[in-house]
Structure formats: C-alpha cells, structure tokens
Amino acid sequence: MSPLVQGLVIGFSIAAPVGPIGLLCLRRSLADGRLAGFVSGLGAATADALYGAVAALGLTAITRVLLDHRALLQLGGGVFLLYLGLATLRAKPGDAGRAETPLCEAKAGKLSAAYFSLVGLTLANPLTILSFVGIFAGLGVGATAGGGWPAFRLVLGVFLGSAAWWLLLSSAAGWLGRQLAHGGLRTINFASGLVIAGFGAWQLAALI
C-alpha cells in the first residue's frame, strides 16, 4: 500500500469517531450551512496533518514538548469547549436556506474564525499525536515512509482522508438542516451545546 493510501485510511479513521470536534462541525453544518461545517472540518484536518507530520518524521523533541505542556493545552481546550458550548446554548437557529449560500456570498471573516477555531481546538489535544504515533508504530508506517517525498505523501493522505470525512459529514448535515423546521434546529442547538459544554467541563475536571 502506497504512503498516500495509508495516509488516507489513517486520516479518515482518526477523524471519524464522534467527539466534540465532530459535534461542532455537525452543529455548524446544521445551523450555518454545509460550507461553514466543511471549512470547520478543514481546520481539524489541518491539525491532524500537522500532528501526522510530527509522527511521520519522528520529531520526538516536539512530541515531548507537547506532552510536557499537556495540562496547559488541556486547560485551554477545556475552557474553549465550555465557551463554545455555552455560546451554542444561547445561539438562535440560523436560516436553513443558508446551506445553499455560494462561497462568494459567505462571510470570509466567519469562515476564517470557523477554520482557525478548529485548528486550535484540535491542536489543544496532545492525545491526537499519541494516536498517530501509536498507529504509525503499530503498522510500521513511519518506518516505511521514511522522510522526503514518501513522508509528504503520507501526511497529504492524512489531510485528504480527514477532509473526506468532514465533507461527508457536513454535506449530510447540511441536507438534514434544510429538512428541519425551526424548532428542530433549536432542539439540536440545545442538545449539542449541552454535550460540547459537558466535554469542556469533563476536560477541566480531569485536570483536578
């Protein structure tokens, strides 16, 4: 199996499990349209690719620094999740018709915020890099890729595999958002806000 295909499979499998990142992308796709959800997912895919690069290139010094500052990263991620959860609880459901808003009409500032918020939130979880290190070591992927072009193809595959999952999720959620009435979106807002805030509270409690 080529490094690109290996990366595709690994990136998709890392992104697919349901967690706070998935819930955020799902909620944004439902409330703001599939474009906002997909751009958010690209932020997570970018962070996955960065951590994948660290694992593929065997940059143990960077890995050690991340793990040494794990508590600080966990604190930042927990506070951010708690804030996003509370903001989601207070948010009013958007117009489902915005799922069809073309890219040229979308607000660039809002999309940038959606992208970079997910980059930061995904990077704030150092366990992600442990997942990549464990998978690469278990499958012998890092040793096979080595460095240079093979490693680049592996990391590119991780990004594309993760992005493919977010495209599927945001497209399905965008379609669902158009089918839901205002009350249904309000219920989803409330439920996702509670769960996201719960993830943040749990992450903060784990520090104690």
Closest of 26, 23, 7, 1 to residue 174, by C-alpha? 26
Tell me what the mean pLDDT of segment 60-89 comes to.
79
Q: What is the pLDDT of residues 152-175, one digit of tens each?
A: 888 899 999 999 999 998 888 877
59 CB neighbour count, 10 Å cutoff: 14
- How far lies 97's CA from each of 100, 173, 177, 180, in Å? 6, 13, 9, 11
Helix axes 108-123, 70-90, angle to 10 degrees: 140
- How far lies 94's CA from each of 33, 164, 170, 180, in Å? 9, 25, 15, 11
Furthest CA-CA distance within the chain: 53
In this predicted structure, what is the pLDDT of residue 146? 53
What does the domain layout of the chain look like in residue ranges? Answer: 3-70+93-178
Q: Is the predicted pLDDT of residue 122 greater than 70, yes or no?
A: yes
Q: Can you tell me whether residue 16 is helix, strand or coil?
A: coil
Tokens of 151: 């490693």
Distance, in Å, from the CA atom of 9 to the CA atom of 3, rounded to the nearest integer, reads 10
In this predicted structure, what is the pLDDT of residue 104? 44
Closest of 145, 159, 139, 200 to residue 45, by C-alpha? 159
Q: Is the predicted pLDDT of residue 178 greater than 90, yes or no?
A: no
Asked whether 118 and 36 are in contact (CB, 8 A), the reply is: no
